[in-house]
Amino acid sequence: MTIDQLNALGKEAFVQRVGWVFEHSPWVAERAWPHRPFSSLADVHAKMTSEVTHASREQQLALLRAHPDLGARAAMSASSANEQAGAGLDQLTAQEFERLHQWNNAYKQKFGFPFLFAVKGSDKFQIFAALEHRLNCDPEDEFLEALRHVYRIARFRLQTIIDNQPEERL
């Protein structure tokens, strides 16, 4: 889909097309739609992330909580499953799965939301190292870091929808 085609969509069709890029949170697309026309993929992403940035803390927390645990062997969206499989999280040994499960639980207990990591381009060792490190972070810093990863995930997902075009249009 080109940026012009995306701009031409009505609100309902726009939300249908891009509402999933922020995990189970179509409200982000609904709020970004009035900011059309978008000039580029980067502009769509910036407008959508701005809506999250300006949302209430409760809405942001709900967005974070909408994501599945990394490596979870439970139902998750197809996009999350594919992203995690790309990082090898669907092929963990029993020991790795148990360690990840324990760290995920410790993380959720400490921060109140699942560990979020934009896994594209990473492997399980990088993800494990990040999780171990981030377990020691300050809660407010970690909340902001989790949102940054949600923004990266959304960017990767938008790239699967919008045709690759120059970032800036003349």
Task: Return per-residue pLDDT of the chain as tens, 170 residues.
Answer: 999 999 999 999 999 999 999 999 999 999 999 999 999 999 999 999 999 999 999 999 999 999 988 876 555 566 655 666 666 677 788 898 899 899 999 999 999 999 999 988 888 889 999 999 999 999 999 999 999 999 999 999 999 999 865 544 43
Segment 52-56 long-range contacts (CB within 8 Å, at least 24 positions apart): 52/22, 52/28, 52/147, 52/150, 52/151, 53/147
Q: Are 19 and 154 in contact (CB under 8 A)?
A: no
pTM > 0.75: yes or no: yes
Q: What's the DSSP call for residue 113? A: S
Q: Which of 54, 67, 133, 149 is catalytic?
A: 67
| Residue 77 confidence (pLDDT) | 61
C-alpha distances (whole Å) from 87 to each of 80, 97, 113, 127 are 11, 14, 21, 9
133 included as an active-site residue? no
| Residue 167 confidence (pLDDT) | 47
| Residue 92 confidence (pLDDT) | 81
Residue 23: how many CA atoms within 13 Å on its side-chain side?
A: 26
Domains of the chain: 3-161 (1.10.3330.10)
Mapped to the 3 state alphabet, what secondary structure does 28-65 carry?
HHHHHHHHCCCCCHHHHHHHHHHHHHCCCHHHHHHHHH
| Residue 128 confidence (pLDDT) | 92
